[in-house]
Structure 1
Amino acid sequence: MSRTTLQGVGLADGVAQGKALICNEAVSVARIDVLTGILHEPGHPLDGVPVKGKVLVFPQGKGSSSGSYILMNLAEQGTSPEAIVIGKPDTILVAGAILAKIPLIGEIRQEDILSIPDGSLLHINGATGVIMRL
């Protein structure tokens, strides 16, 4: 498999590597259980799926203003995603990622999100906005 590079906007500094967890629907980080890192939202494609150690890739956030607090607690508990890649970032998610020191890249087109195979190994640079599939 050849390397593929995508360019977004770096929003939260840091470098991370992990397997891609792709979702083509909005994700509410407030629905992630802090102790387990498992998303709980009945009917959602990621319901029951752990985000711990993954690069969470999705088009946009949704829901609660507690998202920043949840990201900080996930990082403190060691159950957070390694990095986040999002199409349309919002201030709550960006603030939470910065405070939790979770690399975050935004402004990724939906077709680029869908071009990343689920489970593929990604290298994320939250400062430069570069996403490299290894």
Structure 2
Amino acid sequence: MPKKLVIKVTAGADAPERCSQAFTVAAVAAASGVEVSLWLTGESSWFALPGRAAEFDLPHAAPLPDLIDGILAAGGRITVCTQCAARRAIEEKDLLEGFRIAGAQVFVQEAMSDETQALVY
């Protein structure tokens, strides 16, 4: 089993099931002791802003704020894509505590490290 899981979520409220699945997998992996790096790209970038995750609703799915809290509490990292943030005028100062903005070079570095599994949703 990989020691690190890098998950890139490309969907937000526009594809709620795919979005929720990515956050759920990240939270379960983090709670299981796997080192998790969750990357928010495209429309999922909005969930890095205060209050946005609480607006997301999908029947029979765990609330996004709870999943985010679980990921961060277990030592997971949540990153917003640099270009995606720029296209939405999201700056580092706007982000929830524990989130960061980073680019493709960092994503590739994380995804290609030894004993890492990468998933894209």
**Taking structure 2 as the reference length, what is the TM-score of the superposition?**
0.41
